[in-house]
Amino acid sequence: MRGCPCLVALPYFCSMVIDIISVVPELLESPFSHSILQRAREKGLLNIRLHPLRQWAVNAYGQVDDYAFGGGAGMVLMCEPLVRAIEALSAEGAYDEVIYLTPDGERFDQQTANRLSLKGRLLMICGHYKGIDQRVRDGWVTMELSIGDYVLSGGELAAAVVADAIGRLLPGVLNDETSALTDSFQDNLLAPPVYTRPVDFRDRKVPDVLVSGDHKKIEEWRQEESLRRTKEKRPDLQG
Ligand code: 6GU
């Protein structure tokens, strides 16, 4: 007889792979080499691998881009290096999503971060210059993400943002104190204000309730402050 599914032990070790293809992978080294994400990598929960696109260049000069057909300023990343990169990396195991970071993609938000954090293997492609050949988007990319309505000089900083938002959600990455459940946006509410010592700093006092020791009152206060903050700063979140 099979046991209740609730009693089946969850795998205590699950790891996500995020592969990132970029012309300037150096831009991505620092964001993943400190603090929470570095710890996640050391614990084996998150495996972020950077892949310089130039290793799949079309010639010995390391060419990966070319002029846009039809003219106009700016270079376009070519099909050949990108598709060779995608195929070479996919040979190790299929990706759940092949994500192209682009200002004309779907707006990245907490809900998308939550959804992507449940996947096992992600491939991110950072565009540069004028972007990548449309045929790669049509044939190989499964998801296009933008981190906001402004233009960055390349997809790398956006990839770092997306990978950070996903990585911190993986089981075991955050501890109780830093739990993602109390983040802003997890329930469409902004997080309440926080304070630390001293209780009185240049006549600015910590709200009495927070030092009262009354946990029920504190929880109520936090809930109210969350609502108040959201109404004031982001009324759009509450519909
Ligand atoms: Cl994903 N890429 C670039 N280059 N610029 C952006 C972006 C992405 N999201 C917002 N701006």
* Residues within 6 Å of ligand 1 by CB: 101-103, 105, 145-148, 150-152, 154-155, 158
As a whole number of angstroms, the distance between CA 221 and CA 225 comes to 6
Helix (H, G, I), strand (E, B) or coil at 206: coil
Report which protein residue has its CA nearest ligand 1's atom 7: 103
Distance from the CA of 155 to the center of ligand 1, in angstroms? 6
CB neighbour list of residue 22: distance below 8 Å, 6 or more residues apart: 28, 50, 51, 52, 53, 126, 128, 154, 155, 156, 159
CB neighbour list of residue 109: distance below 8 Å, 6 or more residues apart: 185
8 A C-beta contact, residue 37 and residue 164: yes
Domains located in the chain, CATH noted: 16-167 (3.40.1280.10), 184-238 (1.10.1270.20)
Tokens representing 225 are 């402050």
Dihedral angle computed from the Cα positions of residues 56, 59, 62 and 65, in that order, rounded to the nearest 10 degrees: -80
Burial class (CB in 10 A: 0-12, 13-18, 19+), 85: buried
Dihedral angle computed from the Cα positions of residues 200, 204, 207 and 208, in that order, rounded to the nearest 10 degrees: 50
What pLDDT shows up at residue 4? 38
What pLDDT shows up at residue 2? 39
8 A C-beta contact, residue 84 and residue 56: yes
pLDDT per residue rounded down to tens, the chain (239 residues): 333 344 455 455 569 999 999 999 999 999 999 999 999 999 999 999 999 999 999 999 999 999 999 999 899 999 999 999 999 999 999 999 999 999 999 999 999 999 999 999 999 999 987 899 999 999 999 999 999 999 999 999 999 999 999 999 999 999 866 678 778 887 899 999 999 999 999 999 999 999 999 999 999 999 999 999 999 999 999 86
What pLDDT shows up at residue 8? 52
What pLDDT shows up at residue 14? 64
As a whole number of angstroms, the distance between CA 159 and CA 144 comes to 11
What pLDDT shows up at residue 177? 60
Distance from the CA of 158 to the center of ligand 1, in angstroms? 6
What pLDDT shows up at residue 129? 73
